[in-house]
Amino acid sequence: MGTFSDINTLSAAAGAPVYAGYPATDAILPYVVHRPLSIAPGQTALNGSNIDWDHQYTLYACAAGVEASYNLAVKVMRILHGARVSGTTLVTSMGYTGALVEGHYESQITVQLNQGVI
């Protein structure tokens, strides 16, 4: 398994479905969305690929309310932080909490890959 699919598998232990890229149109909340983090204006990232110069992934914990989104994000972060994946150690942080997006709320989790073991 590659890093992307490993992170998805681990994230699913939080009890919500995990979608790579974008959820299906009929997806039911709560769920986690896993997309590359793109921070440069005009930069294009392929769905399912991390930004290799930055070694970061982005997860969005999506739920019906601000608190539910935050709680799901915290569960995912606890699972991923310090986990060993593909020869690296994951480090998590929360980018933002409870943003209203298309009728639901999401909290952003960044996952950074560190070389070696901490």
Residue 102 belongs to domain with CATH number: 3.30.2000.30
* Residue 67 CA: distances (Å) to CA of 89, 101, 111: 28, 14, 21
**Range from 11-20, 63-72, 86-95 carrying the lowest mean pLDDT:** 86-95
Alpha-carbon distance values, 59 to 4, 93, 107, 117, 118 (Å): 11, 10, 8, 22, 22
Say whether the peptide bond before residue 30 is cis (omega within 30 degrees of 0): yes
Residues 82-110 pLDDT 10s: 999 888 889 999 999 999 998 999 999 99
Residue 107 falls inside a structural domain: yes
Q: pTM of the prediction?
A: 0.82
In a domain, 14, yes or no: yes
> Would residue 43 count as lying in a domain?
no
Beta strand 31-36 with 88-101: parallel, antiparallel or unpaired? unpaired
Q: What is the pLDDT of residue 1?
A: 39
Please count the structural domains in the chain: 1
The parent domain of residue 83 ranges over 3-37+48-115
